[in-house]
Amino acid sequence: MAKGKSKQTSDNFMRNVVIVFGSIMVIMIVALIIANIFGPKTKYSDFDAVTNYALVDNQVEDVYGVYFYSETCGACNSIKARLIAFADSNEMDLKIYMMDAYGTSGDRSLITGPGGVGLTSTPTMLIFKDGLMVDFIVNADNITDFFDEVEAGSYTLD
Protein backbone atom coordinates (compact mmCIF):
# COMPACT_ATOMS: atom_id res chain seq x y z
CA MET A 1 0.00 0.00 0.00
CA ALA A 2 2.90 2.38 0.63
CA LYS A 3 4.01 1.97 -2.97
CA GLY A 4 0.55 2.95 -4.29
CA LYS A 5 0.44 6.05 -2.15
CA SER A 6 3.93 7.06 -3.34
CA LYS A 7 2.84 6.72 -7.00
CA GLN A 8 -0.28 8.80 -6.30
CA THR A 9 1.81 11.49 -4.56
CA SER A 10 4.23 11.50 -7.51
CA ASP A 11 1.32 11.79 -9.99
CA ASN A 12 -0.21 14.65 -7.97
CA PHE A 13 3.13 16.43 -7.85
CA MET A 14 3.59 16.18 -11.63
CA ARG A 15 -0.02 17.33 -12.21
CA ASN A 16 0.55 20.34 -9.94
CA VAL A 17 3.83 21.21 -11.69
CA VAL A 18 2.07 21.12 -15.07
CA ILE A 19 -0.83 23.25 -13.76
CA VAL A 20 1.50 25.84 -12.21
CA PHE A 21 3.73 25.97 -15.30
CA GLY A 22 0.68 26.30 -17.60
CA SER A 23 -0.80 29.04 -15.40
CA ILE A 24 2.47 31.00 -15.45
CA MET A 25 2.61 30.72 -19.24
CA VAL A 26 -0.99 31.97 -19.62
CA ILE A 27 -0.30 34.91 -17.27
CA MET A 28 2.86 35.82 -19.21
CA ILE A 29 1.03 35.72 -22.55
CA VAL A 30 -1.81 37.89 -21.22
CA ALA A 31 0.71 40.35 -19.77
CA LEU A 32 2.53 40.61 -23.12
CA ILE A 33 -0.74 41.23 -24.95
CA ILE A 34 -1.75 43.94 -22.49
CA ALA A 35 1.71 45.56 -22.67
CA ASN A 36 1.52 45.53 -26.46
CA ILE A 37 -1.90 47.19 -26.47
CA PHE A 38 -1.37 49.74 -23.71
CA GLY A 39 2.41 50.09 -23.70
CA PRO A 40 4.32 53.08 -25.01
CA LYS A 41 4.25 53.71 -28.74
CA THR A 42 7.67 53.38 -30.33
CA LYS A 43 7.05 52.75 -34.05
CA TYR A 44 5.34 54.55 -36.90
CA SER A 45 3.10 51.50 -37.27
CA ASP A 46 1.70 52.10 -33.77
CA PHE A 47 -0.33 54.96 -35.28
CA ASP A 48 -3.09 55.14 -37.88
CA ALA A 49 -1.82 55.56 -41.41
CA VAL A 50 -2.88 57.11 -44.67
CA THR A 51 -2.13 54.43 -47.24
CA ASN A 52 -3.37 56.15 -50.41
CA TYR A 53 -2.44 59.67 -51.50
CA ALA A 54 -6.01 60.29 -52.68
CA LEU A 55 -7.27 59.92 -49.08
CA VAL A 56 -4.87 62.35 -47.41
CA ASP A 57 -7.49 65.11 -47.18
CA ASN A 58 -10.34 62.80 -46.23
CA GLN A 59 -9.91 61.83 -42.57
CA VAL A 60 -12.64 61.96 -39.92
CA GLU A 61 -11.16 64.68 -37.69
CA ASP A 62 -11.82 68.35 -38.43
CA VAL A 63 -8.16 69.15 -37.77
CA TYR A 64 -5.34 66.61 -38.15
CA GLY A 65 -1.79 66.16 -39.36
CA VAL A 66 -0.21 63.75 -41.80
CA TYR A 67 3.48 62.96 -41.36
CA PHE A 68 5.22 61.93 -44.60
CA TYR A 69 8.31 59.89 -43.81
CA SER A 70 10.62 57.12 -44.92
CA GLU A 71 12.21 54.48 -42.70
CA THR A 72 15.52 55.09 -44.51
CA CYS A 73 15.43 58.89 -44.20
CA GLY A 74 18.17 60.15 -41.90
CA ALA A 75 16.31 63.37 -41.07
CA CYS A 76 13.15 61.36 -40.29
CA ASN A 77 15.12 59.08 -38.00
CA SER A 78 16.71 62.06 -36.25
CA ILE A 79 13.27 63.32 -35.10
CA LYS A 80 11.46 59.97 -34.88
CA ALA A 81 11.34 59.79 -31.07
CA ARG A 82 10.12 63.37 -30.83
CA LEU A 83 7.55 62.84 -33.58
CA ILE A 84 6.19 59.72 -31.89
CA ALA A 85 5.96 61.49 -28.53
CA PHE A 86 4.17 64.42 -30.20
CA ALA A 87 1.81 62.14 -32.13
CA ASP A 88 0.98 60.26 -28.94
CA SER A 89 0.20 63.39 -26.93
CA ASN A 90 0.27 67.10 -27.77
CA GLU A 91 -1.30 70.31 -26.48
CA MET A 92 -3.74 70.57 -29.43
CA ASP A 93 -4.80 66.92 -29.24
CA LEU A 94 -3.86 66.97 -32.92
CA LYS A 95 -4.28 63.52 -34.41
CA ILE A 96 -1.25 62.59 -36.52
CA TYR A 97 -1.53 60.05 -39.31
CA MET A 98 1.59 58.39 -40.70
CA MET A 99 2.22 58.21 -44.44
CA ASP A 100 5.14 56.05 -45.55
CA ALA A 101 6.81 57.33 -48.72
CA TYR A 102 7.35 53.76 -49.92
CA GLY A 103 4.17 52.19 -48.54
CA THR A 104 1.54 54.62 -49.82
CA SER A 105 -0.27 53.88 -53.05
CA GLY A 106 -1.78 56.21 -55.60
CA ASP A 107 -0.61 59.39 -57.26
CA ARG A 108 1.68 61.49 -55.03
CA SER A 109 1.36 64.46 -57.40
CA LEU A 110 -2.19 64.96 -56.05
CA ILE A 111 -0.63 66.60 -52.99
CA THR A 112 0.78 70.07 -53.47
CA GLY A 113 1.75 72.76 -51.03
CA PRO A 114 1.98 76.53 -51.40
CA GLY A 115 2.98 77.73 -54.84
CA GLY A 116 2.35 74.28 -56.28
CA VAL A 117 5.30 72.69 -54.49
CA GLY A 118 4.90 68.93 -54.67
CA LEU A 119 5.28 66.36 -51.95
CA THR A 120 8.80 65.31 -52.86
CA SER A 121 10.86 65.04 -49.69
CA THR A 122 10.76 63.45 -46.28
CA PRO A 123 10.09 64.47 -43.63
CA THR A 124 7.06 66.61 -44.38
CA MET A 125 4.16 67.43 -42.07
CA LEU A 126 0.82 68.32 -43.63
CA ILE A 127 -1.85 69.99 -41.49
CA PHE A 128 -5.49 69.82 -42.54
CA LYS A 129 -8.54 71.70 -41.35
CA ASP A 130 -12.00 70.84 -42.65
CA GLY A 131 -10.45 68.80 -45.48
CA LEU A 132 -8.20 71.63 -46.68
CA MET A 133 -4.44 71.73 -46.28
CA VAL A 134 -3.56 74.73 -44.12
CA ASP A 135 0.13 74.02 -43.52
CA PHE A 136 2.89 72.27 -45.48
CA ILE A 137 5.98 71.92 -43.27
CA VAL A 138 9.13 70.55 -44.88
CA ASN A 139 12.37 69.36 -43.17
CA ALA A 140 13.15 68.15 -39.68
CA ASP A 141 14.05 71.55 -38.19
CA ASN A 142 10.81 73.17 -39.33
CA ILE A 143 8.79 70.19 -38.09
CA THR A 144 10.37 70.31 -34.63
CA ASP A 145 9.76 74.08 -34.59
CA PHE A 146 6.10 73.26 -35.30
CA PHE A 147 6.09 70.85 -32.32
CA ASP A 148 7.52 73.62 -30.13
CA GLU A 149 4.87 76.11 -31.30
CA VAL A 150 2.05 73.66 -30.62
CA GLU A 151 3.38 72.84 -27.16
CA ALA A 152 3.82 76.55 -26.36
CA GLY A 153 0.27 77.28 -27.54
CA SER A 154 1.51 79.73 -30.17
CA TYR A 155 0.60 77.71 -33.29
CA THR A 156 -2.50 78.98 -35.04
CA LEU A 157 -4.39 77.45 -37.92
CA ASP A 158 -4.62 79.75 -40.93
- The band of 18, judged by pLDDT with boundaries at 50, 70 and 90, is confident
Provide mean pLDDT across the span 144-148. 98
Pick the CATH number of 44-152 from 3.40.30.10, 3.60.15.10, 3.50.50.100, 3.10.28.10: 3.40.30.10
Range scoring the smallest mean pLDDT among 9-18, 81-90, 146-155:
9-18
In tens, the pLDDT along 134-145 reads 999 999 999 999
Question: Which 3 state secondary structure label does DSSP give 52?
Answer: strand
HEC profile of 104-141: CECCHHHCECHHHCECCCCCEEEEEECCEEEEEEECHH
Helix ranges (DSSP H) in 39-67: none
pTM for the predicted model, two decimal places: 0.75
For residues 46 and 84, the answer to whether their CB atoms sit within 8 Å is yes
Residue 36: predicted pLDDT: 63
Provide mean pLDDT across the span 100-114. 93
Backbone angles phi, psi at 49, to 5 degrees: -125, 150
Q: Going by C-beta distance under 8 Å and a sequence separation of 6 or more, which residues neighbour residue 36? A: none
Question: Is 23 a residue whose pLDDT tops 90?
Answer: no
